[in-house]
Amino acid sequence: MEFQEILYAVENGVATITLNRPKSLNALTMTLLRECDKAFKTAGKDPAVRCIVLTGMGRAFSAGADLKDTTERTANLSDALRAGYNPLITTMTTLEKPIIGAINGVAAGAGCGIALACDMRIASEKASFIQAFSGIGLIPDSGSTWFLPRMVGYARAFEMMVTAEPISAETAQQWGMINHLVPHAQLTEVTLAWANRLAAGPTRALGLTKRALNKAMRVPLTDALEYEAQLQDIAARTADFPEGVAAFLQKRKPNFKGF
Ligand code: T3D
């Protein structure tokens, strides 16, 4: 698949999407956002893809909105959010396959929001997270106001947002923003090990788990319980369920097919 501002590759059940504007620290243009959205949707529909990795080319994950790009920028920034940023965040969070963010460097502004929209984050020791918006007189977008307080609590989210100061990968780990912190040279290796592990999992059940978790963040317990019951019926109808049970009884590793 041909893209201008991202790279897309599929290998051994893992699709890797690489933000590819390293000279501007992978700053986000409408083209990049739309290509990224298309790549996620393509990976979502491709039965050969069972896990997706999102990372950045060069020394940054993403520096957020491209502040030099005036294409398509209007007086209403909400137009840009509705046309580019919000659809991407929605696609990522509703796509029923695991997404791992391999955070290779700074994730600022909307780049931080996109990192937070991944299901897991594995960060290099060179990574940092900046809610950069207030530094340029804007408010947090791309889901940051939703994701961040749920991960780190209101007070820390508020402080990050009003100061626009960077949070190191080490602090991000202490605060629960990332799953794993790794030496920079090992980021690809550790991320691929995780991606291969998830790609060998019961993909349908993992996707439904993501759907249930996202729903449970918004509804009362009774509703979450009922939703779990409904989704469990779907999971139980997959071939991976009897395979998982058979593998347990036969004391062997399950050979999940993802459907
Ligand atoms: O506008 C809309 O569409 C609405 C949506 C808004 C959502 C948002 O994301 S708002 C927040 C936008 N992002 C920022 O405010 C962050 C701006 N960048 C920085 O603060 C710093 O660059 C970093 C802290 C991320 C990294 O600092 P450092 O010192 O490692 O690198 P640098 O020297 O500042 O940047 C390197 C190059 O990347 C430089 O280009 P040059 O001078 O070598 O030609 C710099 O201009 C460029 N760059 C960095 N960030 C952006 C950027 N170019 C365009 N847009 C950027 N956001």
| 58 neighbors 22 (Cβ within 8 angstroms) | yes
Q: How far does the centroid of ligand 1 lie from the alpha carbon of residue 26, in Å?
A: 9
- Up-side HSE of residue 223: CA atoms within 13 Å toward CB? 8
The DSSP letter of residue 157 is H
Q: Is 135 in the pocket of ligand 1 (CB under 6 A)?
A: yes
Q: How far does the centroid of ligand 1 lie from the alpha carbon of residue 66, in Å?
A: 7
pLDDT for 70:
78
Ligand 1, from 5, 19, 25: best to mutate by most atoms within 8 Å of Cβ? 25
The CATH-assigned architecture of domain 6-199 is: Alpha-Beta Complex (3.90)
> Any idea how long the chain is?
259
pTM given for the model: 0.97
- Up-side HSE of residue 149: CA atoms within 13 Å toward CB? 10
pLDDT in tens, 108-156: 999 999 999 999 999 999 999 999 999 999 999 999 999 999 999 999 9
> Residue 123, SS3?
strand
Atom of ligand 1 nearest to the CA of 85: 5
pLDDT for 74:
65
pLDDT for 76:
87
pLDDT for 210:
98
Which amino acid is present at 22? P
Atom of ligand 1 nearest to the CA of 59: 30
Q: Is 110 in the pocket of ligand 1 (CB under 6 A)?
A: yes
Which amino acid is present at 129? F
Domain 203-249 class in CATH: mainly alpha
Residue nearest to atom 23 of ligand 1 (CA): 63
How many C-beta atoms lie closer than 10 Å to residue 194's C-beta?
Answer: 20
| Domain chopping of the chain, boundaries | 6-199, 203-249
Atom of ligand 1 nearest to the CA of 113: 9
Interatomic CA distance for residues 141 and 70, integer angstroms: 18
Annotate 11-56 with DSSP letters as a single string.
ETTEEEEEE--GGGTT-B-HHHHHHHHHHHHHHHH-TT--EEEEEE
pLDDT for 1:
76
What's the order of all strands across the beta sheet hosting 51-56? 6-11, 14-19, 51-56, 99-103, 120-124, 180-182
Atom of ligand 1 nearest to the CA of 67: 55
Phi-psi region of 109 (alpha: psi -120 to 50; beta: other; left: phi over 0): left
pLDDT for 17:
99
Which segments in the chain show pLDDT lower than 70? 72-75
Tokens linked to 249: 């009884």
pLDDT for 78:
94
